[in-house]
Structure 1
Amino acid sequence: MGVQDSPTLITSVQRAFRLLEVVSAHENGAPAKQLARETGLHLPTAYHLLRTLVHDGYVRKLPDGGFVLGDKLQALRTTGSGQTLLSRVRPTLAALRDEFTAAAYLTFYEEGEIRVAEIVDGPRAPRVDLWVGFEDAGHATALGKSVLRELDDEARKEYLSRHHLVDLTPRTITSSPELLRRIDSSPVAPAVTDLEEYALGTVCVAVPVYSGGTLGSLGVSLPAGRLSRLPEIRERLLPTATRVTRNLSFTI
């Protein structure tokens, strides 16, 4: 039975996937007639699907008329690779959450911004209310300050030149020189803390991690009433960060 004869409601999807499989087998491209023949599709059907796939970026038409995979698929592969990497460290973050009954966070410094990649929380370990995005609050979070501590002077200045140090709570540091002084003189280095600087009633401790050459941070947040546990959590975070870095740096 040819592909076009399959009597199902998702035949068009099956045809498109089959077409993508065949296109991917031709690194230098293949014309529509060849693709139609190899997929078992009628030529008009192949042309119609190819036009749709080209329009949506999944296939690209070459000047000589051949077809190759498009940029959209590469983006999907990149996203999928990132999700695969994160799946390797979620159990570690969950273990932190369960051990300390505290939400665990993972961030990365990407394209000049500090971005949250993963949060593992639960009913007994709720995440902090992200009322201000981390991209605009790096100066007020342990996760953001951990990243800033690891950046060189030029990268720090560049970041701070683009981000106003917004006053989020009465404890927020809004002076760049003072912020850098405290980061560099952290008594628990390489860890840094956020003592109700992002949200009143919440404290956080974070340490640096890496995914290949990408800098990030690993941390946990908990109610300010449990501040006395921060030293214990910091000691646990340091070897955990080493393990997370190792898992994130494996080649997929």
Structure 2
Amino acid sequence: MDRENMVKSVSRALDIVDLLSMKKNGLGVTEIANQMDINKSSVHRILATLVKYGYVEQDIDTGRYKLGYKFLEINSKLLDSIDLRTEAHPFLEQLEKETNEVIHLVVYDNGEVVYIEKLDGNETLRMHSKVGKRAPMHCTAVGKAILSHIPINEVLNILQKKGLPDHTDHTMTNLDEFLNHLVNVKEQGYALDMEENEYGIRCVAVPIFDHSSKVIAAVSISGPTLRMTDDRLQELKQRMIEVGQHISIRLGFQSL
């Protein structure tokens, strides 16, 4: 087989895989040939090769072809190899360029958030955050973004252990008020920190989901109240929602 025909065969094989991925009950050789407008003998040869390597399997009773378990094996290895920081970094860098503000990436761990990435931006801003440091969830935008997508019994366990201590005069310390606030955060798709953790600092954050639709992290933009006005927060929220979605998709998340 010459190089051109080999490339064409690979292309057709991938097209068949795409076709089968959309058919839960599988397809027969004739159906595939008709939909792809190629002869049945070519389809049969390609399918035989895909079956041999486990990428496609044939139902003994119906004779129809479906995707094989080899794809699950590959998918599992791919998901295991995905690194959150690596996948998120291009989006964080772009946010930094667009806003010149501090960008944080955090993960959820044992009832707290842990900073795993921080980009400082070009503007002057002093914050207590640094990579490796832990922070409370109830008074940070990243923490609230994550909490809003965690089962209520887990949220209550966290709050029972950690409490709702006030870090500033703006910190929410009433349980019922806070739980209602989390409902709103989930509905709107983003969380705000309005000087609830540090005086003079405002943040907007969004959750990040993995391939199983579980919330695992959050990303935020932080800046001084002078620059993070109500109008600017409104401008940034939709951009942040987009970034959260993009990073989640890179981690295998499939939005509804």
Give your verdict on TM over 0.5: yes
- Give the partner amino acid of 1:146: A
Alpha-carbon distance between aligned partners in 2 of 1:134 and 1:164, rounded to the nearest angstrom? 19
The residue that corresponds to 1:215 in the other structure is: 216
Residue in 2 that maps onto 1:166: 165
For residue 247 of structure 1, the aligned residue among 231, 250, 254 is 250
Mapping of 1:17-32 within 5 angstroms? Answer: none
Equivalent position to 1:235, from 235, 238, 244: 238
Look up the SS of the partner of 1:129 in the other structure.
Answer: coil
Counterpart of 2:234 in structure 1: which amino acid?
Answer: P
Partner of 1:156: 155
Q: Secondary structure at the match of 1:91?
A: helix
User: Structure 2: 5+ residue runs without aligned partners?
Assistant: 1-79
Q: Could you say if the C-alpha distance between residues 187 and 243 of structure 1 is closer, same or farther in structure 2, counting changes exceeding 3 Å?
A: closer
Q: Helix, strand or coil for the counterpart of 1:174?
A: coil
Which amino acid in structure 2 is aligned with residue 245 of structure 1?
Answer: S
**Inter-partner Cα distance in structure 2 for 1:209 and 1:239:** 11
CA distance in 1, matches of 2:104, 2:165: 22
Does the 8 Å contact 2:148/2:185 carry over to 1?
A: no
TM-score w.r.t. the length of structure 2 is 0.59
User: What CA distance in whole angstroms lies between the structure 2 residues aligned with 1:187 and 1:245?
Assistant: 16
Structure 1 residues 249 and 128, CA gap change in structure 2 (3 angstroms): farther
Q: State the shift of 1:183 in Å.
A: 2.1
Q: Cα deviations across residues 116-160 of structure 1 (Å, max 9, x unaligned)?
A: 2211223426463239x9745211111001111111111111111
For residues 178-218 of structure 1, the C-alpha deviation after alignment (integer angstroms, 9 at most, x for no partner) is 11112213497111111011111110011111233452211
Identity across matched positions, percent: 28
Q: Equivalences for 1:64-143 in 2 at 5 Å? A: 84-124=83-123, 126=125, 128-130=127-129, 135-143=134-142
SS at match of 1:139: coil
Partner of 2:179: 180
Aligned partners of 1:108 and 1:214 also within 8 Å: no
Change (3 A) 1:169 1:137: same
Q: Which residue of 2 is the match for residue 65 of structure 1?
A: none
Partner of 1:193: 192
**What is aligned with 2:22?**
none
Query: 1:229: Cα distance to partner?
Result: 0.5
1:43 alignment partner in structure 2: none
Give per-residue Cα distances to partners, 1:55-112, cap 9 Å, x unaligned: xxxxxxxxxxxxxxxxxxxxxxxxx957x44122212101111101211111222344
Letter in 1 for 2:123: R
Partner of 1:202: 201
Q: Please, what TM-score do these two structures have when normalized by structure 1? A: 0.60
Is the 1:193–1:204 Cα contact (8 Å) retained in structure 2?
A: yes
